């Protein structure tokens, strides 16, 4: 079964409270909708910083959430001198510390920075049809001159979803993923 492959650049999710610390009264604007229903790229950017280094122009994704989370690649983590764990979105307990700088203020977080697990967005209905349960791990075959098979791809069903694999930029660059790359879903017995 074919599945579209989508690469997520480093990005930030914010709570309403943290948005206001960073951006003050600046309106939280939709720049463009993403493939997942309701999700959008906002026109708000922050700098993320550690004692070692900083990465500027990191986009805030919307809508605002019940937790603040910074998702970076291992390449970014090396630059920043961090060693964040691989986690599913929302699972930020004991993840890496990070400082977020906005135009209106600065936020020092003791935890919240993760490397995102490879994961698949899928509707609850379609997951059931395929016999897949939440957090089950599958594999994806990627074609092409940098192709191969990636393991530990986590199934994340939601009521509404666009069926696709989400990878970070290291996986994207390592596997040579392009705009129209289709993977092959492999379900292990």
Q: Is the peptide bond before 63 cis (omega within 30 degrees of 0)?
A: yes
List, in order, residues 6 or more apart from 2 with CB less than 8 Å away.
182, 183, 184, 185
Q: Supply the minimum distance, in Å, between the C-beta of residue 77 and a second copy.
A: 9
Query: For a second copy, which is the closer residue by CB, 37 or 148?
Result: 148
Query: For a second copy, which is the closer residue by CB, 53 or 75?
Result: 75
Residues near a second copy (CB under 8 A) = 73-75, 78, 86, 118, 139, 145-152, 169-171, 173-176
Q: Supply the minimum distance, in Å, between the C-beta of residue 117 and a second copy.
A: 8
Q: Supply the minimum distance, in Å, between the C-beta of residue 147 and a second copy.
A: 5
In DSSP terms, 101 is beta-bridged to 47, 106
Residue 158 CB neighbours (<10 A): 14
Cα separation, 165 vs 156, whole angstroms: 10
Query: For a second copy, which is the closer residue by CB, 158 or 169?
Result: 169
């Amino acid at each position: 079964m074919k599945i579209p492959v989508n690469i997520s650049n480093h990005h930030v999710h914010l709570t309403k409270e943290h948005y206001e610390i960073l951006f003050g009264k600046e309106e939280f604007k939709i720049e463009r909708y993403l493939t997942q229903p309701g999700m959008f790229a906002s026109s708000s950017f922050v700098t993320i910083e550690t004692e070692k280094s900083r990465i500027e122009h990191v986009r805030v994704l919307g809508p605002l959430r019940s937790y603040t989370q910074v998702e970076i690649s291992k390449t970014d983590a090396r630059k920043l001198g961090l060693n964040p764990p691989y986690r599913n979105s929302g699972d930020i307990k004991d993840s890496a510390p990070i400082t977020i700088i906005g135009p209106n203020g600065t936020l020092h977080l003791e935890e919240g920075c993760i490397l995102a697990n490879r994961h698949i967005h899928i509707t609850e209905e379609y997951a059931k049809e395929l016999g897949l349960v939440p957090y089950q791990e599958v594999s994806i075959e990627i074609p092409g001159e940098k192709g191969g098979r990636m393991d530990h791809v986590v199934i994340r069903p939601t009521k509404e979803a666009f069926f696709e694999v989400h990878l970070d930029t290291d996986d994207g660059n390592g596997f040579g993923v392009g705009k129209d790359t289709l993977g092959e879903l492999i379900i292990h017995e």
